[in-house]
């Protein structure tokens, strides 16, 4: 080609108002998006990775969203929006939040959460749950050290509190 990827991205941005751009680069060229693309995939990559990246860029559909108070979860894109701040979630974090949003105000025991999210009855080491809850709090809470939504009920489990 006689033009650079950066120039193509600038031209596309100017002509295609707000359309996401996925730039596929050969191996060894880095993966920064300073070239103007929304996503830069560096070869080699799997078809699944490409599909996942495209899927995340598609506009959200409210049919696949849950809302509880100020918390809005897009189940397809695994994005949570709270008071205008948006965060991307891992599949386990999204499943945890979905479970809480279906049961606001109810205590969910550690055993229930592990069974529903990790699909196992093994509760020997629940540190995995604690770490995922910490990550989820960082995504949802304004101050994860003083949570107002995802509360720990000591020795029991967790609860989603929605302010009225």
In this predicted structure, the answer to whether residue 37 has a pLDDT above a threshold of 80 is no
pLDDT at residue number 40: 82
Does some domain include residue 64?
no
pLDDT at residue number 105: 94
Residues 6+ apart with CB under 8 A from 91: 78
Within a 10 A sphere around the Cβ of 20, how many other Cβ atoms?
15
CATH number of the domain within which 109 lies: 1.10.10.10
In this predicted structure, the answer to whether residue 22 has a pLDDT above a threshold of 80 is yes
Output Rg (C-alpha) for the chain, integer angstroms: 20
Enclosing domain of residue 155:
90-160
pLDDT at residue number 52: 82
For residues 113 and 96, the answer to whether their CB atoms sit within 8 Å is: yes
For residues 73 and 132, the answer to whether their CB atoms sit within 8 Å is: no
Does some domain include residue 38?
yes
Residue with tokens 């509760």: 123
Looking at the fold, whether 53 and 95 belong to one and the same domain comes out as no
Looking at the fold, whether 156 and 96 belong to one and the same domain comes out as yes
Identify the band that residue 29 occupies on the pLDDT scale cut at 50, 70 and 90: low
Looking at the fold, whether 148 and 98 belong to one and the same domain comes out as yes
Does some domain include residue 52?
yes
């Amino acid at each position: 080609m006689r033009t650079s990827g950066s120039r193509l991205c600038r031209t596309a941005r100017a002509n295609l108002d707000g359309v996401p751009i996925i730039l596929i680069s050969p191996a060894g060229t880095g993966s920064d998006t300073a070239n103007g693309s929304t996503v830069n995939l560096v070869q080699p990559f799997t078809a699944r990775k490409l599909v996942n990246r495209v899927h995340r860029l598609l506009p959200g559909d409210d049919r696949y969203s849950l809302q509880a108070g100020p918390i809005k979860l897009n189940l397809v894109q695994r994005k949570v929006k709270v008071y205008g701040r948006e965060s991307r979630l891992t599949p386990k974090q999204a499943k945890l939040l979905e479970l809480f949003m279906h049961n606001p105000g109810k205590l969910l025991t550690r055993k229930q959460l592990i069974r529903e999210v990790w699909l196992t009855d093994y509760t020997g080491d629940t540190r995995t749950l604690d770490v995922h809850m910490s990550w989820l709090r960082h995504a949802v809470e304004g101050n994860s050290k003083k949570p107002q939504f995802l509360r720990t009920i000591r020795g029991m489990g967790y609860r989603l509190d929605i302010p009225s």
